[in-house]
A and B are shown apart, each in its own frame.
Chain A
Amino acid sequence: MKEKIKIILFVIVLGMVSGSILLGVNRYTESRILQNQQLKIKKAVLDVFEIPYTKENIETVFNQNVEIVKFDGVSFYISKEKAVAFEFSGSGLWGPIHGVIALNNDMNTLKGISIIHQEETPGLGGRSAEKDYLAQFKGKKFLPEIKIVPAGKSKGENEVDAITGATGTSKSFETLLNANIQKKLDLFKQRR
């Protein structure tokens, strides 16, 4: 009995000490982490619009070039050329994928894609976040849907190459891109 009480007490004390340390660290880093996240979204939006910026002037460049409109809590970023960008998210093979897509002002082709967060296998699925890979999405038709086909076989104007060795990620990426574009585009067209 005495032993059991000792164990319970020990666990409670350990939990409290560990918890309060982490609480402290969280309070200390929270605002910076949040700021980093917002900065990442702004960077991603500027990236897909291909607006040049430097580390120091992101905020001003963003405010000068991008207009934000919100429909039903979803932010749409509109550039001077009337290209529209929005965030997308969904599940990849191993974890959530989060990024920004931009559509050209013809509302028919992709302007670009930029990934903010992914947890795919480094070196394999993780490469879907690289600029070189994402560059091939530029100018592709997203209607009726984007198709990700085995590497080297993309021909159609809505087809892009998959990543060799990352079939699962490529499949999930295709599904989540199409679902997000469809949903957000409908919302945007309705309210615009």
Chain B
Amino acid sequence: MKKLSVIAVAFAMILSFAFSAFAAGTIYIITPSASNPFFATEQRVGVAKAQELGYEAKAFSHDDDAAKQLELFEAAISDKAVAIICDNAGADASIEAVRKAVDAKIPVFLIDREINESGLAIAQIVADNAQGAAAIAEKWVEAMDYQGKYAELLGLESDTNCWVRSQNYHSVIDEYPDLEMVAQQSANWSQTEGYSKTEAILQAHPEITGIICGNDTMACGAAQACVDAKRTDIKIIGLDGSDDAAAYVAKGQMVGTALQQIARITEISIEQADAYLKDGTKPASEKQLVPCIAITKDNVANLSQFVYTEK
């Protein structure tokens, strides 16, 4: 009996070896620094989905350094990767790396950020920041009861998304003449700057009742500054859908955020890579937008680690 189970175990081991030897190849997942939970989610979900579909998966960070990104692409090429999933290190700076992979016949699937070139990558799948900003701005104007003075914390002004988000906040807010912006400053996507800028704005403009922020890290800084200043009447929004922001939303210290469905976006990229590798199927269009979900206290319980699950 014992012998039989030893044979069974050995047989299972042989099978699993055979299985890994026949793995459909290695998918490289290259993202900005995984110290940011958003990018850590890309790596975690990407590796899990690739393995589920029978691939080996390796995840790396380029730390927003285009030279390091190029080295990682070259490593993928010499490692004979079957596909590369990448959240890139710059819309122009990344074109060279993507072209190298394409020349080496390795299909590239870009997530989260676009590059300024079409026809190289098989797919560029990004969150619809414009729609997300407008969607959460709508919740915010409701919370403000369509009136009052407010401040805006902008992201890094050299970043396209900073203006996409700001413009689309204002496309909603500016339709209401009784909402008046009295301060607009950049806090460079940073939580500490979000905190210090908010402190200063509260001193200079104590009459404000709202703060709109270009991302969740700044919004969390702003929310904490308002809590510390006992100004929890101030209505704050951000954009990303981070767990930190969700905690403030749940406590009523932020009105909401817009979830960029990065886990879903990463899964879609792996599914599209799998379809392409199996029979050459390309997505209907290279540039694809995945809608954001407005998160308020009504549905914040459905959000965890950038995954939204309707309960």
A-B complex is real: no
